[in-house]
Amino acid sequence: MTGTNGKTTTTRLITAALSPLGFQIASNIYGANMEAGLISALSRAPDARIAVLETDEKYITAMVKATRPKVVTLLNLSRDQMDRAAEIWLLARRWREALADAPDCRVVANADDPLVAWAAGSARQVTWVAAGQRWREDSWCCPNCGAHLQREGDDWSCLECGDRRPPVSWMLYDDEVIDPSGRSTPLQIALPGRANRSNAVVALAVAEAFGVQPSYALREMRLVTSIAGRYTQVSRRGCDIRLLLAKNPAGWLEALDVIAPPPAPVLLAVNAQGPDGRDTSWLWDVDYRRLRGRTILVGGERRLDLAVRLEADDVQFQLVNDIDEAIDAARSPSLEVLANYTAFQQYRTVLGRVQ
Amino acid sequence: MRPLRLVWVFPDLLSTYGDRGNVLVLERRARLRGIPVEIIDINSDQQVARDGDIYLMGGGEDLPQTLATRRLLADGGLHEAAERGAVVFAVCAGYQMLGVEFGGADDAPVKGLGLLDIRSGRGEHRAVGEIVADVDPGLNVGRLTGFENHQGVTRLGPTVRPLARTSLGTGNGDGTEGAYAGRVLGTYLHGPALVRNPNLADLLLYWAVGPLPPFPPQADELAGRLRAERLAAVAAFQ
């Protein structure tokens, strides 16, 4: 399982979806997705017959070679932590090469993301999922030839080289999944947001490759309510706090769709430590104008970067030093928190390592 | 009053990481002075507007950089505008594109736009991190603070001047950073380079519209605090 956003959540959903098989499953459920995390996940469950492994985007090519997986799942590709991650066209090319060399592997891929579709296009067997694509700033151009893509709704095609969105067998339609037989089933998962419904459809397509029917898989997936503190509701000093984690522009775009409508106050927090990426430029790729008129609090170690960004979008806000200052300033029974990685972990620690 | 026309060149190919910030900063600082602004996004399948006042180009990966250059050479609109005296501001990959040549995907030289007398190639190490550089005193901009993320090495020819001298970071690779000639200016400060450098933004606006009326100082307070914080954070490394 790889992709820029949704890896940890989708790994958790796949693990749930496969549980009806009754096998022990090895999985790195806390998101440690490079060598150490993967080896640790496998060694914790040496007798497991199945491993569901979230894998770093750069590391997936080595994993495909080393483990010859039954299924490789590709979610999406977009700009992320550019100071340490590879450029995404380059990543897509490496995925494409690795999958061309893995003929036994089934690929489950998002057909709505042109870069992902191009990367998966070299594989012998692909299950195409219409999982949607909210963030499009990294795929205006054809990954194959570079020409400006024609886009209409979720459809995309290139007039220059003829590359186009492949026909899909799984589809997300509002809150329903349409499976390859054409049957539509309500997802009704507990996790919020379009991105998670999209992750759920991908998980169902993976489950089918292991012989688990959607109805059985969904029953388990609906029990997943939070992932390592994400989406968790926790109460502090009489305020119900909900934590959302997003690390890059595509993630923030999806998260801004998930936060409760006004008047719920929102705390936005940004750090720029190593795991976050030390470069805050990405803040300028997010459109914050829809936050105008709301109570917005700004925290995290790089709150001034975010403050200048919000000022440019004419969003009123108040700077806060920590979660308690935010609760005081919110003067509300609830508070939505959207933070990037280490900012999220700092709040989570203060709130008692909520799961 | 005729609006100030900001032309963002090929956001579909050249917008890697926050490049829109430069458009937004110029827009805000013009509007604060009562100057109306029109923003024109030109995708790579469109003709480049000939009548812009400030043209902006962002960063990009190797392939998009080469494609964008090819299209701009064929289109000719940016060259027409630059000859007419329009302002061109380019960062990172866009900066390299302004030159006579730059290194493409396989490091083979690619013919650039030729708007600046510079030549870029690939260095041995990727330069990633905070950069601080002091701008040519003649431009009255002061100290630049930003983030660089590139593997380019750029040599400056006799008809351009270095934009700045680096005190932290890599820049062009020889102690200088960026380059300018006339109203064409490029820098390795990537993404939203103007956010932490309001004086550089104002220089571009001044080139485009002439003397700028002042605006209330509190409108600059946050940017000033951010700028001071970033400079203080790296002061120990210089």
Q: How far is A148 from chain B (nearest CA, A)?
A: 6
Tell me: pLDDT of B16 over 90: no
- Strand duo B109-111 + B101-103: pairing: antiparallel
- All residues of chain A having their beta carbon less than 8 Å from the beta carbon of residue B25 are 312
- All residues of chain A having their beta carbon less than 8 Å from the beta carbon of residue B229 are 304
User: Are B25 and B195 spatial neighbours (Cβ–Cβ below 8 Å)?
Assistant: yes
- State the best of A96, A145, A308 to mutate against chain B, taking most chain B CBs within 10 Å: A308
Cβ neighbour number for residue A36 with a 10 Å cutoff: 10
pLDDT in tens, A176-214: 999 999 999 999 999 999 999 999 999 999 999 999 999
Q: How far apart are CA B2 and CA B23, in angstroms?
A: 18
The pLDDT score that the predictor gives to residue B134 is: 98
CB contact under 8 A, A89 and B61: yes
Nearest chain B Cα to A139, which residue? B12
* CATH match for A233-350 among 3.30.499.10, 3.40.50.2000, 3.90.190.20, 3.40.50.300: 3.90.190.20
pTM confidence score: 0.93
The verdict on A314 touching B (C-beta cutoff 8 Å) is no
The pLDDT score that the predictor gives to residue A353 is: 72
The CATH architecture of the domain made up of A7-221 is 3-Layer(aba) Sandwich (3.40)
Tell me: pLDDT of A354 over 90: no
Could you give the percent of chain B with pLDDT greater than 70?
100
Q: How far apart are CA A315 and CA A295, in angstroms?
A: 9
pLDDT in tens, A62-109: 999 999 999 999 999 999 988 877 789 889 999 999 999 999 999 999
- All residues of chain B having their beta carbon less than 8 Å from the beta carbon of residue A313 are 24
What's the whole-number average pLDDT of chain A? Answer: 95
The pLDDT score that the predictor gives to residue A83 is: 80
Intra-chain end-to-end CA distance of chain B, in Å = 45
Specify the domain boundaries for CATH 3.40.1190.10 within chain A: 7-221
pLDDT in tens, B102-146: 998 777 899 999 999 999 999 999 999 999 999 999 999 999 999
- All residues of chain B having their beta carbon less than 8 Å from the beta carbon of residue A84 are 128
The position carrying tokens 């979610």 is A75
The pLDDT score that the predictor gives to residue B105 is: 76
Nearest chain A Cα to B105, which residue? A90
If we measure between CA atoms, which residue out of A267, A236, A241 comes closest to residue A340?
A: A267
If we measure between CA atoms, which residue out of A25, A3, A27, A74 comes closest to residue A228?
A: A27
The pLDDT score that the predictor gives to residue A31 is: 77
Nearest chain B Cα to A319, which residue? B222
CB contact under 8 A, B18 and A278: no
Domain count, chain B: 1
Nearest CB partner across the interface for A146, out of B64, B191, B223: B64
The pLDDT score that the predictor gives to residue B50 is: 96
Domain membership of residue B115 as a residue range? 4-237
CB contact under 8 A, A284 and B21: yes
Q: What CATH number is associated with residue B54?
A: 3.40.50.880
Could you give the percent of chain B with pLDDT greater than 90?
92
For the residues A316-340, what does the mean pLDDT come to? 97
For the residues A210-226, what does the mean pLDDT come to? 96
Q: How far is A145 from chain B (nearest CA, A)?
A: 9
- With a CB cutoff of 8 Å and minimum separation 6, the contacts of A180 are A169, A170, A208
Q: How far is B37 from chain A (nearest CA, A)?
A: 14
The pLDDT score that the predictor gives to residue B236 is: 82
Tell me: pLDDT of A289 over 80: yes
Nearest CB partner across the interface for A284, out of B128, B149, B192: B192
pLDDT in tens, B211-227: 999 999 999 999 999 99
Specify the domain boundaries for CATH 3.90.190.20 within chain A: 233-350
CB contact under 8 A, A285 and B20: yes
- State the best of A78, A160, A276, A279 to mutate against chain B, taking most chain B CBs within 10 Å: A279
Nearest CB partner across the interface for A137, out of B15, B45, B63: B15
pLDDT in tens, B156-209: 999 999 999 999 999 999 999 999 999 999 999 999 999 999 999 999 999 999
- State the best of A88, A284, A305 to mutate against chain B, taking most chain B CBs within 10 Å: A284
Q: How far is B126 from chain A (nearest CA, A)?
A: 10
The pLDDT score that the predictor gives to residue B12 is: 93
The position carrying tokens 């989570």 is A348
CB contact under 8 A, A140 and B21: no
If one compares A353 and A116, the residue with the highest pLDDT of the two is: A116
The pLDDT score that the predictor gives to residue A10 is: 97
For the residues A46-53, what does the mean pLDDT come to? 96
**B125 catalytic, yes or no?**
no
Tell me: pLDDT of B63 over 90: no
Burial class (CB within 10 angstroms; exposed 0-12, middle 13-18, buried 19+) of B115: buried
For the residues B58-70, what does the mean pLDDT come to? 92
- All residues of chain A having their beta carbon less than 8 Å from the beta carbon of residue B147 are 83, 278-281
- All residues of chain A having their beta carbon less than 8 Å from the beta carbon of residue B129 are 83, 278
CB contact under 8 A, A137 and B43: no
> Which value does ipTM take for this structure?
0.96
The pLDDT score that the predictor gives to residue A228 is: 81
Amino acid sitting at position A63: M
**B190 catalytic, yes or no?**
yes
Tell me: pLDDT of A151 over 80: yes
If one compares B23 and A275, the residue with the highest pLDDT of the two is: B23
- All residues of chain B having their beta carbon less than 8 Å from the beta carbon of residue A82 are 16-17, 149
The pLDDT score that the predictor gives to residue A196 is: 96
For the residues B25-49, what does the mean pLDDT come to? 97
The pLDDT score that the predictor gives to residue B213 is: 94
